[in-house]
A = this chain, B = another copy of it.
Amino acid sequence: MKLKLLFSCLITAGIAVPSFAQEPVDADMVQKIREEGLNHSKVMETAFYLTDVSGPRLANSPGLKRAQNWAVNQLKAWGMANAKLEAWGKFGKGWEVQKNYAAITVPYYHAIIAIPKAWTPGTNGLIKGEVMLIKADSAAELEQYKGKLAGRIVIFDTKAPTERTWKVDAARYTDEELAEMANAKATPAGPRRNAADPNAAQMAAFRKLRAFRTALSQFLVDEKAGLVLSQARGTDGTVFTTNGASYADTAKAVAPELETSSEDYQRILRLIKGGQPVQLEAEIKTQFITDDLQGYDVVAEIPGTDKKLKDQVVMIGGHLDSWHGATGATDNAAGSAVMLEAMRILKAINFKPKRTIRIALWSSEEQGLFGSRGYVANHFGDPKTMELKPEQAKLSAYYNLDNGTGKIRGVYLQGDSAAAPIFKAWLEPFKDLGAATLTIRNTGGTDHLSFDAVGIPGFQFIQDAIDYGTRTHHSNQDTYDRLVEDDLKQAATIVASFVYHTSQRAEMIPRKELPKPQPAR
Which residues of A line the B interface, CB within 8 A? 48, 52-56, 62-63, 66, 96-101, 103, 107-111, 113, 160, 163-171, 235-239, 261-263, 266-267, 270-271, 274, 276, 327, 466-467, 471, 476-477, 479-482
Contact = CB atoms under 8 A, between A and B. Distances in A.
Given A160-B481, A270-B480, A480-B270, A99 B109 contact: yes
A274 B99 CA distance: 25
Given A52-B274, A163-B482, 15 more contacts: A52-B276, A53-B107, A53-B271, A53-B276, A55-B108, A56-B110, A62-B108, A97-B111, A100-B111, A164-B169, A169-B169, A235-B477, A235-B481, A236-B237, A237-B239
Across the A-B interface, give the 5 residue pairs with the lowest CB-CB distance, nearest first.
Answer: A237-B237, A55-B108, A100-B111, A164-B170, A263-B479
For the complex formed by this chain, how many copies does it contain in all? Answer: 2
A54 B160 CA distance: 20
Nearest to A283: B101
A75 to B, nearest CB: 20
A56 B266 contact: no
Contacts of A166: 168, 170-171
A167 B164 contact: no
A86 to B, nearest CB: 25
Contact of A48 (B113, B274, B327): B274
A276 B55 CA distance: 12
B98 A100 contact: no
B109 A271 contact: no
Contacts of A479: 263, 267
A50 to B, nearest CB: 13
A113 B113 contact: yes
A466 B164 contact: yes
A481 B266 contact: yes
30 contacts: A48-B274, A52-B270, A52-B276, A53-B107, A53-B271, A53-B276, A54-B108, A55-B108, A66-B108, A96-B108, A97-B110, A97-B111, A98-B109, A99-B103, A101-B103, A113-B113, A163-B482, A164-B170, A166-B170, A167-B168, A169-B236, A235-B481, A236-B236, A236-B238, A237-B476, A237-B477, A266-B480, A267-B479, A267-B481, A270-B480
Given A63-B108, A168-B168, A52 B481 contact: no
Contacts of A471: 236
Contact of A262 (B170, B261, B327, B481): B481
Contacts of A276: 52-53
Q: Which of A111, A170, A239 has the most B CB atoms < 10 Å from its CB?
A: A111
A434 to B, nearest CB: 15
Contact of A267 (B52, B170, B236, B237): B52
A263 B107 contact: no
A261 B163 CA distance: 22
A263 B63 contact: no
Contact of A109 (B53, B97, B477): B97
B107 A111 contact: no
Nearest to A116: B111
A375 to B, nearest CB: 27
Contacts of A54: 108
A315 B107 CA distance: 32
Contacts of A56: 108, 110
Nearest to A271: B52
A103 B103 contact: no
A435 to B, nearest CB: 20
B55 A237 contact: no
Contact of A101 (B98, B111, B466): B111
A164 B111 CA distance: 26
A239 B111 CA distance: 13
A385 B271 CA distance: 48
A163 B55 CA distance: 21
A436 to B, nearest CB: 22
